[in-house]
A = this chain, B = another copy of it.
């Protein structure tokens, strides 16, 4: 079949931006009931998987500056959702971890987030989901390595 001139395919950069915009909106609604901001929720999630990360490590992993991350971490600590202990090997480093309250709150919010993710992935064939995740992870690594050359 000779194709009828289709709409030009939007760039990956563009689509990622739009999807992200939509996700943020939805997440904010879903997190509002628990008085959690999106960056706060994100930090909690990361700390659940990787307890003991320092502010510097967290910020690098999130591709934001340590100054931005410290604010998030500070808010979580103030609410006793996160505890930060001095690294035994380096007194300057504070290693963060969830408190029981943090774990509990995170557990109570997770279903709402999972529901959103399920809703978005509904339209994507299961076999392709792994491909998408792998591709995005590759892009993430490249963005982390690129400018810093750390």
Residues of A participating in the B interface, judged by any CB pair closer than 8 Å = 7-27, 38, 42, 45, 49, 61-64, 113, 116-117, 119-124, 128-129, 131-144, 146-147
Instruction: Known contacts A63-B22, A136-B19; decide if A119 and B142 are in contact (CB<8 Å).
Output: yes
A-B contact sample (17 more), CB < 8 A, given A25-B63, A132-B136: A10-B137, A12-B117, A12-B133, A13-B27, A13-B120, A15-B136, A15-B137, A16-B136, A17-B20, A17-B23, A18-B62, A18-B63, A18-B140, A22-B144, A25-B143, A124-B135, A128-B134
- Count this chain's copies in the assembly: 2
A129 close to B14 (CB less than 8 A): no
B15 close to A133 (CB less than 8 A): yes
B137 close to A14 (CB less than 8 A): no
A2–B33 Cα distance when bound, in Å, is: 42
B121 close to A12 (CB less than 8 A): yes
Instruction: Known contacts A25-B63, A135-B128; decide if A12 and B120 are in contact (CB<8 Å).
Output: yes
B122 close to A9 (CB less than 8 A): no
A28–B24 Cα distance when bound, in Å, is: 20
The minimal Cβ–Cβ distance linking A129 to chain B, given in whole angstroms, is 7
B12 close to A20 (CB less than 8 A): no
The minimal Cβ–Cβ distance linking A122 to chain B, given in whole angstroms, is 7
